[in-house]
Structure 1
C-alpha cells in the first residue's frame, strides 16, 4: 500500500519578551519550544515528514507545478476554461506578481527552512540506542536531499538565489548568492550527503521516503545540468548495477496509473493518497494543505487536465507533431508512445478509444453523452479526437479514462514521477553523447524505445545527429512530466524552439531572452531589501 504523507505542522516556537515579574518568568510546561521539542526519534520524524509535506503545497505537486512547467514548455496548451493567472504561462505574459511562481518560490524556501530546522536540532541530538543513531543518520539524509532539491529548483528557475543554510539566521535579510556556482555547490553537497546517509530501500511502511538511489540520480542530474558530463556519467552508471535493482516498468501505461506506487522504475516520486471527502477537503490543493487536507494528499492534475472534466488544458500541437518523424531509412514514422500520451485521431497516433475497461457508462451531463447515448453501453468508446473538432488532442497520460468516464472530484492518487529509470537511462545516454561516446549511448536509448515497441537504432550518426535523437527521445518519453522546460533552457534552445512553435499556434513569438529565468517575486523584493537592489529590469 502507499505510504500516507501526513501533514504535520511544526510547532510554533514562541519567544517571550523579558519581564521583571518573577511569576511571569515561569515557562509554560505545556508549550513547545525549539529547545524542548526535538528530543526523540518520533519528534524528529515529525519534522522530516513536515519537510516532505511542502512538496504538496502551492506552487508544487498538488496542482501548480503541472501548469507551470507544462505550459511554459508548450507540452500543454491552455483551453478557454483555464483561469487567467495560469493562462499567462502559455504566452509568457506573466510578471513578478504571477501567483503560482510566487507560491513556488515561497514554498521552496519553506522546504529549506524546515530542513534547516531538522539539521540544526539533529546536531544537538545525541541518541544512545543504535536504532535511534541509525534514524538520525537517515533523517539527516532525507532533509539534506529535500534542501538540495529545493535549491536545485531555485537555481534552475531563478539563478543566483539567496542561500539560507542556517536555521538560526532564518529571519535575517539575505542577499543573492555571488554566482550560480555558489548555489550549485550547495546542491551538490546536499545530494552527496544524502547519498551517504540514505538506505537503498525501505520497508513497506516507509515507502515514499527518498532513497540512496534518488540522491544519486539527482546528483547526476545536477552534474549534467552543469555540463559536468563525466561526473554525471559516473553517478548514473551506479544506478544500473547492484545494489540497485531499477528496471523499466514492462508496461508504459502502468507507470502513469494507480498501480505505479510500487513500480520498479520509480526512482523518486511524489506520493499521492486518496481517502474520502470525510478525511479532508477535496480542494485542499488550492491553499489549505496544512489545514484542510487531513489524510488526503491527492493531486488535482487528472481532473484539471481531463478532457471529460475541467478540461483546462489540451496537448500542444507541437507535441502532437513531434511523435511523427523519419525512421532510419527516411520513411515516415509514428512513435508508439503517442498512443499512451494523448487521445487523438488515427493519423496522429493517439488513442482513438476511451474507457476500455468500463462495464457500464454513467454519463450524466458529461461530454461522453454526446458520443455514447446508450447509458448501459459498455466500453470502449470511439470519439472523434483530433485537431478539427471540439474534443481536440487531450491528455491520456496520468488520466483514469481507460477505466472511468469522468471524475467526481480532484481525487487522483496516481503518484507524480519526478525521476524514473527511463529518465536516468536517457540522461546517461546524453552524458555519453556529450563526451562523444556515441556508440556507448545507443543501447540506453534503444532500451527505452524497446519497452514501447519503437524501432531500434543501428547508429546514432554524428554528434549532432545523436544529440537530435536524444533530445527527441526526452521530449516523447517524458511528455507531460514537467521536464521539457528545464531541458530546453539548459540546452540553450528555449527561445528558438518555443517561438517557432508559438508562431504556428499563436501567430506571434512571445518568448524573450529574459524568460529563460523566472521573475523574482514582487513579495520577495518588497520584504527582502538585501536582495531588492540586485535585480535587473524589474525581472531577475
Structure 2
C-alpha cells in the first residue's frame, strides 16, 4: 500500500471549501532570468565581456595556466618555495583530483556555456538599426572564437571530451565523450563562423583586446596544423602575411615581454592585463581565489611576474634544458649561442643570458649585476626587472601572448615543410631569426633536418610562452624528450617521470563523480 504524506497546508486546504492557491506561483516582477535579461545589444555585450572575463579565471591566465604548461613542458623547474598541487606538475605526480587541472577543465566549459548563451540570445534580439545589427554580428563572432579556443584546450589536453554544441544542451546534465574527430570538427565550424563576422581591426581604442578576424584565422590554421592537415593550415597562415592584414615582427622582443605593450603589429591574440582603477575594489591577491567572486573589481592582472620572479617569490627558475637549447651548432659546426638567450633569461656571459638588470630603472639607478650564486639562471621574459628592482605585489600588467606573428610564421614554415615546400619555409624561419640577430640558415636540408630546425626554432623563440608542452605532445616526442631532460638534471633518480598516460591530462575527478556517462568511459582512473 502506498503512503502519502500531506503537509499541514494541504490538509487545511482539503478541509476549507474554496481554498485559493493563486499566490503559490506569483512571479517576482523585478527579477530577471536569461530569457528576460539578454534582450538588447547592450546586454548581449555584457555577456560577451563576461565570457572574456573567464580568460582570467581559475586555470587560465590570471595564474594557473603558466604553471600548468611551463612545468609539465619542463621550461620551468620548481624552486624550493614551490609547494602543494603546483609542485606535482614538476615531476608528473599529479592525479585526477589535481586542483589546477580540475580548474582548467571547469573554466573551459564555463567559456563554452557563456559563449553558447551569447550565440543563442543574440539570435532572438531584433536590432533597431544597421549599426546594432553589425554589433550583434560582431558579438556572436567573438563568442564563436572564445568557444573554439576553450574547445581547443579541451581536445588538445584531454582528447575525447563532451561537446556542448549549443545553449539548448544546458538541460542535458550528462553528455558522453565525443571522439577527437568530432571535437575538431566542432572547433573548425565555430572558427569558420567567427571568421565570417569578425573585423580585421577595431577603430576604437576601447576595443583593444577584442579578438579579430586574424586571430580566428590563426587559431583555425593552428587547429589544422595540430591535426596534421598541413595544406589547409598553410592556406590559413598565408592569409595573415598579406593585405588586408598588417602583422609584422616588433623590433625587439622586450617590446612584448618586459612591460605591458601598447597596440603593436605582432600580437595576433593576447590576454590584456591592466589595473582599471587601482586596488580599492579588491585584493591584489585575487588571483588565488575565484577571480569573479573575490572582489577583484576591474583589475585584470596576472601573478606570473611575482611568482616566477627571482627577486621576489622565487617559485620557479628557467630549466637547465631550456637554457642549454640556446647553445647549438651553426652551419659550419661551430658552437653558437643564440642572441635570444639575452631576452629570455638572466644568466652569465657563456650562456648568453642577460648579466645585468634594472637597466632602465628610474631615479638614476645604475644596472645591477645578476648574481647566479649557485641558484640557477632565472626568467627574464615576462619579468619587469629591466624597469624596477623588485616587484611590489602579484600585479603584473605584461600581457599574456597567446598567438603572435612570429608563432604564425613558424607554424606556416612547419606546414610548408610537411607538404614538401622546404624552400618556401626557409625565408619564414630566417625572418624570425633576423629580428634578434641570429644567423640566417642557407639551407634547411632534408625534411627531417628541416623539422629538427623548426623544432629548435620554436623552442627558442617561444620559450616560456606556454607552447612547448603542446608542441612536444603533437610531435610525438614528449616522453623521450622530457625524460632525457629530467635524467640529465637528476642522474641518480630512479623515478619514472613522464609516462605514456601523461600524453593527456587525467579526466578530472569532479567530472567523473558527477557525469556517469564519462565515468564509465575512463580507463585506469586516468583518461
User: Could you tell me which residue of structure 1 aligns to residue 259 of structure 2?
Assistant: 258
Q: CA deviation at 1:280?
A: 1.9
1:88-99 → structure 2 map (5 Å cutoff): 88-99=88-99
1:173 and 1:530 in contact (8 A); partners too = no
Alpha-carbon distance between aligned partners in 1 of 2:122 and 2:313, rounded to the nearest angstrom: 45
Correspondence 1:244 to 2:248? no
Q: CA deviation at 1:205?
A: 1.0
User: Could you tell me which residue of structure 2 aligns to residue 470 of structure 1?
Assistant: 454
Task: Give the aligned CA root-mean-square deviation in angstroms.
Answer: 1.3
Q: CA deviation at 1:390?
A: 4.0
1:381-392 → structure 2 map (5 Å cutoff): 381-385=368-372, 389-392=373-376
SS of 2:269's equivalent in the other structure is: strand
1:258 and 1:414 in contact (8 A); partners too = yes
SS of 1:451's equivalent in the other structure is: helix
1:261 and 1:414 in contact (8 A); partners too = no
Correspondence 1:521 to 2:508? yes
User: Could you tell me which residue of structure 2 aligns to residue 153 of structure 1?
Assistant: 153
Moved more, 120-129 or 334-343: 120-129
1:173 and 1:529 in contact (8 A); partners too = no
Distance of aligned partners of 1:208 and 1:520 in 2 relative to their CA distance in 1, 3 Å threshold: same
Q: Residues 236-277 of structure 1: CA distance to partner in whole angstroms, max 9, x if unpaired? A: 000000110000011111111334231210000001112422
Alpha-carbon distance between aligned partners in 2 of 1:310 and 1:530, rounded to the nearest angstrom: 43
Structure 1: runs of 5 or more not aligned: 1-18, 361-376
Moved more, 167-176 or 119-128: 167-176
Could you tell me the TM-score, scaled by structure 2's length?
0.93
Distance of aligned partners of 1:20 and 1:58 in 2 relative to their CA distance in 1, 3 Å threshold: farther
SS of 2:436's equivalent in the other structure is: coil
Q: Please list every run of at least 4 consecutive aligned residues from structure 1 whose deviation after the TM superposition is greater than 4 angstroms.
A: none
1:403-482 → structure 2 map (5 Å cutoff): 403-482=387-466
Alpha-carbon distance between aligned partners in 2 of 1:95 and 1:482, rounded to the nearest angstrom: 21
1:479-494 → structure 2 map (5 Å cutoff): 479-494=463-478
Alpha-carbon distance between aligned partners in 2 of 1:220 and 1:439, rounded to the nearest angstrom: 20
User: Could you tell me which residue of structure 2 aligns to residue 358 of structure 1?
Assistant: 361
Alpha-carbon distance between aligned partners in 2 of 1:335 and 1:379, rounded to the nearest angstrom: 26
1:163 and 1:174 in contact (8 A); partners too = no
User: Could you tell me which residue of structure 1 aligns to residue 179 of structure 2?
Assistant: 179
Correspondence 1:197 to 2:197? yes
Q: Residues 148-167 of structure 1: CA distance to partner in whole angstroms, max 9, x if unpaired? A: 00110000000010011222
SS of 2:489's equivalent in the other structure is: helix
User: Could you tell me which residue of structure 2 aligns to residue 321 of structure 1?
Assistant: 324
Q: CA deviation at 1:62?
A: 0.1
Q: Residues 311-354 of structure 1: CA distance to partner in whole angstroms, max 9, x if unpaired? A: 10000000000000000111100000000000001111000101
Q: CA deviation at 1:472?
A: 0.3
2:270 and 2:402 in contact (8 A); partners too = yes
User: Could you tell me which residue of structure 2 aligns to residue 364 of structure 1?
Assistant: none
1:342 and 1:396 in contact (8 A); partners too = yes
User: Could you tell me which residue of structure 1 aligns to residue 14 of structure 2?
Assistant: none
Structure 2: runs of 5 or more not aligned: 1-18
1:204-223 → structure 2 map (5 Å cutoff): 204-223=205-224
User: Could you tell me which residue of structure 1 aligns to residue 38 of structure 2?
Assistant: 38
Alpha-carbon distance between aligned partners in 2 of 1:31 and 1:461, rounded to the nearest angstrom: 67
Alpha-carbon distance between aligned partners in 1 of 2:246 and 2:126, rounded to the nearest angstrom: 34
Distance of aligned partners of 1:215 and 1:450 in 2 relative to their CA distance in 1, 3 Å threshold: same
